[in-house]
Amino acid sequence: MTYFHGGAPGLNAGDLIRPAVSLGITKVRTPNQPRYTPRRVYITRLRWYAELFANGSRGDVYEVRPVGRALPDLDARGSFTCSCAEVVAVLARHPVPMPQKAAALFPMGGSR
């Protein structure tokens, strides 16, 4: 299965993506992610979703491999969390997102 991550710029194949808490980031919750935890790395099977996050952080999009078990992200369909992720390939530097697709990921009313 192919996974993607959109985030911190400048990583290369073989680099590890670590949880936000390891960078000193402890609070990043948004209304669309009420169960977010900075102790996990978020990955997705949907490249466009990774592009949304990369664009929001002026970051890059990577193909990644989860380190350890990938658990479903209860806030977003097609997404998972893991303890960290290894960059397999750099797919895009500072991509342009496709925000019209975000509505398909987050249903109206917040129920999941």
* Torsion (CA) 78, 81, 82, 84 in degrees, nearest 10: 100
Has residue 67 been placed in a domain?
A: yes
Lowest mean pLDDT among 34-38, 71-75, 91-95, 107-111: 107-111
- Full residue range of the structural domain in which residue 35 is found: 3-96
Q: State pLDDT tens for residues 18-50.
A: 998 888 877 666 666 767 788 899 999 999 889
Q: What are the residues whose beta carbons fall under 8 Å from the beta carbon of 109, sequence distance 6 or more?
A: none
Q: Are 8 and 57 in contact (CB under 8 A)?
A: yes
Has residue 50 been placed in a domain?
A: yes
Number of helices (H) and strands (E) in the chain: give both, helices first.
2, 7
Has residue 112 been placed in a domain?
A: no
Q: Identify the CATH number of the domain in which residue 65 sits.
A: 3.20.170.40
Per the confidence metrics, is the pTM higher than 0.75? yes
Has residue 18 been placed in a domain?
A: yes
Per the structure, the count of domains in the chain is 1
Has residue 83 been placed in a domain?
A: yes
